Amino acid sequence: MINILYIIIFSLIVANCSLKPVVKHHGVPFLEKKQASLILNESNANDIRKILGNPSTQSKFDNDVWIYIERRQTQSELKKFGKMKINKNDILVLEIDSYGILKKKQFYNLNDMENIKVVKNTTDDKFETNSFIYDFLSSMRQKVNDPLGQRAKKRREISQR
């Protein structure tokens, strides 16, 4: 009986495990190879869209900034309970001028991103309960909640009784 139980448990484990790792891919495939064909001061926005497609993110400052992302994750070993592990994390930042010409190109891979330092400082909130802003906002809240002052009158009448 125990042998049959062991066989059933072992067959369930083997049946649910796959030999090929699960790969989750997000973004533009083969970004590193595709970005090599983009030439500064020659490629235009139409060329970029033809090669890479629409950008993952766009922002507009003095020039247009287009950001393309490629991310590939696989499951880690069984001893880490199949937690997802990042294998590839590439980011391409393109700056396009007002005429649609590629002016700047920056490519970041996983190793470059490990070298980027993030500031850990946070700003303190200076909102105190006895400040002018607090008093002003609390009076505005009171006027919004009771515009005719009816609640205050009822409280006075109850306290006088």
Mean pLDDT confidence for 98-102: 89
Distance, CA of 66 to CA of 156 (rounded, Å): 63
Domain boundaries, the chain: 24-117
The pLDDT of 93-122, averaged and rounded, is 83
Mean pLDDT of 111-130: 69
Encode pLDDT of 46-69 as tens digits.
999 999 999 888 887 666 899 999
In eight-state DSSP terms, residue 116 is -
Q: What is the CATH number of domain 24-117?
A: 3.30.1450
Sign (positive or negative) of CA dihedral 24, 28, 34, 38: negative
Written as one letter, the residue type at 82 is G
Token pair recorded at residue 80 = 């880490």
pLDDT of residue 18: 60
Task: Output the pLDDT for position 152.
Answer: 66
Euclidean distance between CA atoms 152 and 129, whole angstroms: 22
Between 109 and 117, whose confidence is greater? 109
48 vs 14, residue with greater confidence: 48
Q: What tokens were used for 88?
A: 């590839």
What pLDDT, on a 0 to 100 scale, did the predictor assign at position 105?
93
